[in-house]
Amino acid sequence: MTNELKVRVHRGTQEIGGSCIELQTGDARLVLDVGRPLSARRGDQVDLPDVPGLASGDDPTLLGVVISHGHLDHYGLLDQVSPNVPVIAGEAAAAIVEAARFFSPGPALRPAIHLRDRVPLQVGPFTITPYLVDHSAFDAYAVQVDTGDHRFFYTGDLRGHGRKAALFEQLIAEPPVDVDILLMEGTHIGASAADEPTHATGSESDVERAMATTMRGTPGLVVAAGSAQNVDRLVTCYRAARRAGRTLLIDLYGVAVARATGRGTIPQPGFPGLGVWVPRRQKVRVMQSGEFHRTREVRGLRVFPEQIAAHPERYAIYTASSSIAELVTAGALDDSGTVIWSMWSGYLKEPSGQRLRSMCATNGVAFEEHHTSGHATVTDLQRLADAFHARALVPIHTEGGFRYGGIFANAEAHVDGDWWAA
């Protein structure tokens, strides 16, 4: 007699982000991701999905929560999960999230068990095998779950055109066999065909080349606006600056994240051609917290606004968009300089993005976009689906789940909250 594997997607079948999946076999249950929806605004209260024992920790059938990677739309409700529920996540992902909390408060990952590439974990009747994937979050995993009778595979978020694209190609070349359910992200599968790009806007290497060209062609300062937690993009900016003969300056947030990766190959203090610029907001945060070791440790590498203003052609900066205005005020960024937007273009429609565009226009600062997505193209998703030959392919992390049937064989749509069997 076999144990049935039941699956319930609590959130994500009809939206990008907020992912949460519940698995059950016999009387044992496992949760994959507890994300905060991207549609939720800062300060909005978002309740946990209705998973027995998740908030209370009093249901012994709930064996744990697996977090695929350190983006808030996959772990952002973890602070509402009972500390009695074990969390399983990547070690570097947890360290990066913890480092980020000093600058941007949010939940800790607090893993009791660490995910390691292709190293199986036994949690009750579930055998969990993580697969390190290429994504804009460092230490991101797809997750295979075996129950002995059934095999389930959750892609998490992944792509095939980043700095770890070889991982995507390896997954296609050596896919798991006999997969009953492939729960596959479809960020780029839109509500209509017109919303579906068939190719990436470029690879990380393409972004590097474009940034290097901009840095060479700009007589003044170049500032790239991006996320400190996008480690691939930090590497891209550093390599571009080296190609252009500039010193890359990162802020304290970037320093903390780079160190938290635990990888000596990631650009960080001590690398040639890398310095540190401390924005005003981070200075205040250090003073208020009393954690002066953060500035003391980079004292010999700091470059101050007046130094940048004296020789802007020597530098490129990778920082948050909110810090750029003070470079204009300091005279370091003027009509000889360029701002590179290196994030999703949709953020430019928000008030902060509009203010940045307006400030650049007012001060004659050139504005360019050099970015590529953290998510797989439709073409790459088709390659992945073809390689897996799963009995059923189920959409998640997409606004076009109902369109999977016209793109993939064996597509099987479900709605949030419904249980279904493998």
Q: Are residues 155 and 256 in the same domain?
A: no
Among 346, 369, 392, residue at a domain's last position: 369
Q: What angle do CA 197, 203, 204 make, to 5 degrees?
A: 135
Q: Which residues contact 307 (CB under 8 A, 6 or more apart)?
A: none
Task: Give the number of residues written for the chain.
Answer: 422
Domain count, the chain: 2
Q: Are residues 353 and 246 in the same domain?
A: yes
Residue 93 in domain? yes
Residue 381 in domain? yes
3-state helix, strand, coil in the chain (%, to 5): 30, 20, 45
Residue 9 in domain? yes
What was the pLDDT predicted at 1? 40
Q: What's the half-sphere exposure (Cβ side, CA atoms, 13 Å) at 408?
A: 33
Q: How far is it, in rounded angstroms, from Cα 119 to Cα 130?
A: 7
Q: How far apart are the first and last CA of the chain?
A: 15
What are the tens digits of pLDDT across the range 354-388? Answer: 999 999 999 999 999 999 999 999 999 999 999 99
Give burial (CB, 10 Å; 0-12/13-18/19+) of 334.
middle
Q: Ramachandran region of residue 351, left (φ > 0), alpha (ψ -120 to 50) or beta?
A: alpha
Q: How far is it, in rounded angstroms, from Cα 51 to Cα 82?
A: 12
Q: Are residues 413 and 288 in the same domain?
A: no
Q: Are residues 387 and 254 in the same domain?
A: no
What are the tens digits of pLDDT across the range 275-315? Answer: 999 999 999 999 999 999 999 999 999 999 999 999 999 99
What CATH number is attached to the domain comprising 104? 3.60.15.10
Strands 366-369 and 338-341: parallel
Residue 305 in domain? yes
Residue 320 in domain? yes
Q: Are residues 296 and 386 in the same domain?
A: no
- Domain span including residue 139: 5-194+374-421
What are the tens digits of pLDDT across the range 118-158? Answer: 999 999 999 999 999 999 999 999 999 999 999 999 999 99
Q: Are residues 59 and 186 in the same domain?
A: yes
Q: What is the mean pLDDT of residues 220-224?
A: 98
Q: What's the half-sphere exposure (Cβ side, CA atoms, 13 Å) at 290?
A: 0
Q: Are residues 264 and 408 in the same domain?
A: no
Residue 255 in domain? yes
What was the pLDDT predicted at 2? 59
Residue 385 in domain? yes
Find the range with the poorest average confidence among 128-142, 159-173, 182-196, 352-366. 182-196
Q: What is the mean pLDDT of residues 184-199?
A: 75
Q: Which residues contact 48 (CB under 8 A, 6 or more apart)?
A: 34, 54, 55, 77, 80, 81
What are the tens digits of pLDDT across the range 382-412? Answer: 999 999 999 999 999 999 999 999 999 999 9
Q: Where residue 190 falls among pLDDT bands split at 50, 70, 90? A: confident
% of residues, the chain, pLDDT over 70: 97
Residue 153 in domain? yes
What are the tens digits of pLDDT across the range 15-36? Answer: 999 999 999 999 999 999 999 9
Among 369, 394, 409, residue at a domain's last position: 369
Q: Give just the sign of the alpha carbon dihedral 96, 100, 106, 110.
A: positive
% of residues, the chain, pLDDT over 90: 93
What was the pLDDT predicted at 138? 98
Tell whether the model's pLDDT for residue 194 goes beyond 90.
no
Q: What is the mean pLDDT of residues 54-72?
A: 97
Q: Are residues 365 and 391 in the same domain?
A: no
pTM of the complete model: 0.95
**Of the candidates 153, 187, 194, the residue with the CA atom closest to the CA atom of residue 400:** 187
Q: In what order do the strands lie in the sheet with 87-90?
A: 113-115, 87-90, 62-66, 28-32, 20-25, 5-11, 419-421
**Summary mean pLDDT of the chain:** 95
What CATH number is attached to the domain comprising 332? 3.40.50.10710
What are the tens digits of pLDDT across the range 198-207? Answer: 444 689 999 9
Q: Are residues 159 and 272 in the same domain?
A: no
Q: Are residues 268 and 325 in the same domain?
A: yes
Q: Are residues 282 and 181 in the same domain?
A: no
What was the pLDDT predicted at 199? 47
Among 369, 389, 407, residue at a domain's last position: 369
Q: Where residue 195 falls among pLDDT bands split at 50, 70, 90? A: low
Q: Are residues 135 and 162 in the same domain?
A: yes
Question: Please, are residues 7 and 29 in contact by the beta-carbon 8 Å criterion?
Answer: no
**Of the candidates 143, 210, 131, 212, the residue with the CA atom closest to the CA atom of residue 174:** 131
What are the tens digits of pLDDT across the range 95-115? Answer: 999 999 999 989 999 999 999
